[in-house]
Amino acid sequence: MTDQTDPITIVLEPEAAQLSADTDPHPRISEVPPEEGRRILVDLQSGEDVARPEVDEWWVEVDAGEWGVVRTRVIRPAGTSGPLPVLLFLHGAGWVFGDEHTHDRLFRELAVGANSIGVFPVYDRAPEARYPTQLEQNFAVGRWIQEHGAAYDMDTSRVAVAGESVGGCMSTVFALMNAERGGAPLRAECLLYPVTDADFGTPSYERLAEGHYLTRDGMKWFWDAYTPDHSRRSEPFAAPLQASPEELARLPKTLVITAEADVLRDEGEHYAARLREAGVDVTAVRIGGTVHDFLLLDSLRDTNAANVARALVVDFLREALAD
């Protein structure tokens, strides 16, 4: 008989297994200078043969006061007119990497899929800018939506926030900040394999520390770049899993997606449980056979895991933003 206490063997989809093998050798993206790592990710995501929804787009510059000016990309489904709800999308890639190019396809897919106007802050990245700069810049863009969005046909009564990886962390922190600072209610938050804490000792961290694309050492490096002062990592705006039940209870309807073979899996699911315990309307789904970033990476775009998760996210956002 099989010992049922043993963890189930993780069997990755072929594309995820290939990605894990390809990214395992040293030096890894977290072991090279930030500028080099940024170029690596841009190159990885520059496939011109990957379909992208057609959009109309423009750029604005948002004044974030002492936190600087935030270049912000705005898109809407091509050829549409009139008011639409708003999706504020906060990109991931360890606070260090990622930009409007690396996340272009996913941003388009979610904004167009939700029939919304998408807003994408190009926040200052770590280590050049540290916590909480990125959070304050994102919040300034959210405030800009409320104050100026109507001039761009944004229905500011219907706003959701979404992000993946550290962008998922910053998305729920945006919702926490919005509630604390008296912002307009959000319709929903969508957290894709989010960072929620700086605890590197969870079972998923222990079991998946190496060999599954995102490593424990890589996440430690990202945290050091973003929040080198360890004493601040227990602040709820840095690690939302540390928020109180009272703070969590003020958050909107939430979707949490996690990946089976991801060091961040357990903290994402723990956060979903904490939200549910606080009375928040939460749906949490673990996608099997895949790794971190599976919705972002073009090489995993057409996997079963990405297809089913993308459908879940789009349906969730469309329903949450419906008139």
Rounded average pLDDT over 151-173: 99
Options 99, 104, 197, 262, the catalytic residue: 262
- List beta partners, residue 259: 287
Q: Which two tokens stand for residue 311?
A: 């459908």
Q: Is residue 304 part of a domain?
A: yes
Q: Is residue 6 part of a domain?
A: no
Options 91, 103, 212, 292, the catalytic residue: 292
Determine the pLDDT at residue 2.
Answer: 42
Q: Is residue 9 part of a domain?
A: no
Q: Is residue 226 part of a domain?
A: yes
Q: Is residue 5 part of a domain?
A: no
Q: Is residue 190 part of a domain?
A: yes
Q: Which domain holds residue 167?
A: 14-320
Options 165, 171, 204, 299, the catalytic residue: 165
pTM of the model: 0.97
Q: Which two tokens stand for residue 2?
A: 């099989």
CATH classification at residue 113: 3.40.50.1820
**What is the DSSP code string of 279-320?**
T--EEEEEEEEEETTTTT-GGGTTSHHHHHHHHHHHHHHHHH
Give the separation between CA 173 and CA 157, rounded to whole angstroms. Answer: 20
Q: Is 165 a catalytic residue?
A: yes
Domains held by the chain: number: 1
pLDDT tens string 103-156: 999 999 999 999 999 999 999 999 999 999 999 999 999 999 999 999 999 999
Q: Is residue 2 part of a domain?
A: no
Q: Is residue 236 part of a domain?
A: yes
Are 291 and 259 in contact by the 8 Å Cβ rule? The answer is yes
